[in-house]
Every structure is written in C-alpha cells, then in structure tokens.
A and B are shown apart, each in its own frame.
Chain A
Amino acid sequence: MEVLARLAAAAADPAEAKNIAAAGSAGFAYGLAAIGPGIGIGIIFGNAIEAMARQPEAAGMVRTTMFLGIAFTEALALIGFVVFILLKYA
C-alpha cells in the first residue's frame, strides 16, 4: 500500500495518479475477494466427495447440490472480479 501511495505521489498528473491507484486497488480487490470463495469451494468439494464416497448411489443428487453450492459461493469471487473491472476501467 505504501508503494502504491508513493507511486501515486510520483505521478505528476492527477489523472495518472488515479489510474495507478485504481490499478493497484483493483488487484487487491480481486485478490481479497478470491480468498473466501476459494476456501468455501474447497470445503464444498471435499464434503461432496466424502458424501459420494459414502453413498455412491446418491452421487447424482450430491453432484447437483454441489454445483448449486459452488455457484453461490463462486458468485462472491466473481463480484470481486467485477469490482476489479469497475475500478480499473470505470
């Protein structure tokens, strides 16, 4: 962050400074947004595999539910990605 601030200060043009700050925080936005969903999807997948291994006959239902869970969890990371683009290009 300190580096970012210094970079922003180094840029003479205020528009340039805004761009640099936006690029830096966009990277942080996506990186931070990916942490939680990454862990969450790992937990969902792990438990789904465990459930399928215990009850192979229920694999179809477990897989559908797993995809639903992943879809909900993944949405958070994707919103982070959208924020990334908004910050970078808006």
Chain B
Amino acid sequence: MFAFEFPPINEILRWQDIFPGFNKIALIAVAATVISVSLFLIAARQDYREAPTGTRNLAEISVEFIEENIIMQTMGRDGLGWTPFLLSLFLFIYLCNVPGIIPILQMPATARMAIPIFLAIVVWFVYNVTGIKHQGFFGYFKSVLFPPGVPKALYVLVTPIEFISTIVVRPFSLAVRLFANMLAGHLLLVIFALLSEALFEARDKVLIPLGVLPFGMLIFLTGFEVLVGFLQAFIFTILTAVYIAGAAHPEH
C-alpha cells in the first residue's frame, strides 16, 4: 500500500562525522558552550546601571531563575555559592535539549548517552566531595549508610539499600532520566515525521489526506518537546541541588 519502514535506530541516532572525531552531537555541545559564553559576554558588556534589556535581561533572568527557583527552594541562602555550577549545568543541558526541535539540527544532544552520563558522573563527584568536605570522610559515609532514627536491627536492611540508592542508583537514574526522556521524544518525532512523509507520498491517492493526522501530531509533539527540554534541564539541575544540599546538611 505505502512504503513505511522504520529505519534502524543507529541510522537515526548516530551521525556521520563532520570531520574525524567531530559529529553533530559534538557540534551541538560546542555550540551550547559558545552560545552560553557569548550570551553572558554580551550581557556583561551592556551597561549594568540601566534597566536590563535584550541579552542582559535573558542572562539575568536565567541567573535569577537558578537562584530563586532552584537554590532557594532546596539549599536556602547559604547555597547561593553554587549558582555558577548549577547555572552552567542548566544552560548546558537546556541548550543540548533544544536542538531536538530546531529545524535542520533536529537532534537533542542529550539523546545520546555520552553527555548525560558525563554530567551525572560530575554531579556524583560533586555531591560526594561536598559531603566529605562538610562532614568528614567517615561522618559522611556514616550519615549516608546509617541514617539516624532507624532501629539498630533494621540497619542490616537499610544500609545496603541506602548504599545502592545513594552511590549507584542516583547517578544512573539522573543520566537515564535525561537520556531516555530526550531519546523517547526524539523517536516520537521521527516516527510521526516518517509516517506523515510516507502518507503524503503514498502511491494510493486516498491515503494522502490522512497524512494530516500524523502531521498534526508531529506539530503537537514538537510543542511538547519544548516543554520537555526545559523541564528535563530543570529537573536535572534541581535534583543536583537536592543531592548537594542533602550531602552538605544531612539533617534536612
């Protein structure tokens, strides 16, 4: 009836090298850094005494978003020193997510495992080091593995669970959450785009008007991906803030 065959997944996700060792994912990652850096450089060049407009406004909104919606909600006032780290984390993830819906690029860099797993490992190091710094090596592992207020007999059960959840599952789930969300969104977009293309170009002329349906879904999903890209960057950042806050002040 009509030709629709889903391509092998590596065909969708693995990109040809633009030059050796540098493909589209790397391009998007580098572009994310370049865009963030130039955003802040241009913003810093504008006169700070006047009311912020344009680029400066954007940069200041992002800073205030991190400070008010992420740090103040999780770490409180003494966590404000983490703003540069969380800000660069948020901007980097967001700018890696957004190309998933930008025409021509059409690929979220976080839909490949490389960037999420790297960021998750960085976060893992950051919160563990923060915990060790604030409570000492043994204090930190004591508060992680033997949470206070648990009956002594239950430690047999609680300690392995806590160890696995804090040391193993946290970075894994952090990476997988970002990766799988973006990959699922990207695959949905690919499926509906291929479906509408196949329907629009079907031999059978009756099928051509039906192509409007997957095309409408494609537009809806593109709008949805805007939300998902932002939300995943937000969730990754706020979870990082929660982990750091938990490591720095275990009683909360």
**Chains A and B touch each other in the complex, with CB atoms below 8 Å apart:** yes
Q: Give chain B residues whose Cβ lies under 8 Å from the Cβ of A64.
A: 69, 73-74, 238
| B residues contacting the other copy or chain, number (CB 8 A) | 19
Tell me if A68 is interfacial: C-beta within 8 Å of chain B.
yes
B177 with A68: CB separation less than 8 A: no
Contact B239 A71, beta carbon cutoff 8 Å: yes
Q: A72's closest neighbor in chain B, by CB?
A: B173
In the complex, B234 has a CB within 8 A of chain A:
yes
State which of B9, B181, B234, B242 has its C-beta within 8 Å of the C-beta of A78: B181
Q: Contact at A79–B235, with CB atoms within 8 Å?
A: no
For residue A81, CB closer than 8 A to chain B, the reply is: yes
Interface 1/0s, chain B 8-19, versus A by CB < 8 A? 011000000000
Measured CB to CB, the nearest residue on chain A to B8 is A89
Q: How far is the CA of A64 from the CA of B235 in the complex (A)?
A: 9
From B177, B183, B184, A75 is in contact (CB under 8 Å) with B177
B177 near A71: Cβ-Cβ < 8 Å? yes
Interface residues of A in 42-64 (CB under 8 A from B): 60-61, 64
Q: Separation in Å of the A38 CB from the closest CB of chain B? A: 14
Residues of A whose CB lies within 8 Å of any CB of B are 60-61, 64, 67-68, 71-72, 74-75, 78-79, 81-82, 85, 88-89
Binding site for A on B (CB under 8 A): 9-10, 69, 73-74, 173, 176-177, 179-181, 183-184, 231, 234-235, 238-239, 242
